[in-house]
Amino acid sequence: MGNPIGDPSANQWRSQSERSTRRHEQPIDIFVGRGAYSDMHASIAVMNTKGGVGKSTLVLALAETLSANHGKTVLVIDSDAQASVSSMLMTINSLHKLQTDGLTIVDFLVATVLNGEGIAWSKFVVGNVSDVDDARSVYVLPSDMQLTLFEREVSKESLHGRLRTVISKLLAEVTGIFDIVLIDCPPGLSVLTECWLREADYHISPTKADYVSVCGLEVFRRFKSLNPEMGFAENLGVIVNMKDHASTSDNEYHRWLADNSENRCFTDAIPRMGSLQDAARFRSPDRSYMAKYPGQIGVAVKALTAEVLARLAAGKPREMRGLRAAQPTVLPSSAPAAALAVADTMPLTPTIAAHEAFAPTVDASVVVSANVAEPVPASVPGTFAPQVVVSKAAAQVET
Give 10-residue mean pLDDT values along the chain (399 residues): 38 42 37 49 89 88 96 96 93 93 97 94 94 92 96 94 96 96 91 92 89 80 75 89 82 84 88 65 74 90 96 73 34 32 33 30 27 30 29 30
Name the amino acid, one letter, at 300: A
Can you give the pLDDT at residue 13? 47
Relative to beta strand 388-390, strand 329-331 is: antiparallel
pLDDT at 359: 27
User: What CA–CA distance (Å, rounded) separates 159 from 298?
Assistant: 43
Is the separation of the CB atoms in 172 and 346 below 8 Å?
yes
- Report the CATH number that the domain containing residue 359 is assigned in CATH: 3.40.50.300
- Residue 66 pLDDT: 97
Which pLDDT does position 339 carry in this prediction?
A: 34
In a domain, 107, yes or no: yes
CA 86, 91, 93, 98 torsion: positive or negative?
A: negative
Q: State how far the Cα of 254 lies from the Cα of 265, in Å rounded to an integer.
A: 9
Answer yes or no: is 3 within a domain. no
Supply the pLDDT for residue 207: 87
pLDDT at residue 169 in the model? 96
Residue 32 lies in a domain: no
Within a domain: 9 = no
Give the pLDDT confidence score for residue 161 in this predicted structure: 93
Look at residues 248, 221, 271, 296 and name the one whose alpha carbon lies nearest to residue 57.
Answer: 271
Give the model's pLDDT for residue 38. 54
Under DSSP, the state recorded for 110 is I
Q: How far is residue 392 CA from its own chain's centroid?
A: 24
Q: Which domain holds residue 324?
A: 39-395
In a domain, 43, yes or no: yes
Answer yes or no: is 24 within a domain: no
Whether 184 and 48 have beta carbons less than 8 Å apart is answered as no
How many structural domains does the chain have?
1
How crowded is residue 100: how many other Cβ atoms within 10 Å of its Cβ? 14
- Evaluate whether 162 touches 115 at the Cβ level (below 8 Å): no
Query: Exposed, middle or buried: residue 394 (CB in 10 Å: 0-12, 13-18, 19+)?
Result: buried
H or E stretch covering 240: strand 234-240
22 falls within a domain: no
Q: What is the pLDDT of residue 126?
A: 96
Rounded to 5 degrees, φ, ψ at 250 are: -60, -40
* Domain annotation covers residue 25: no
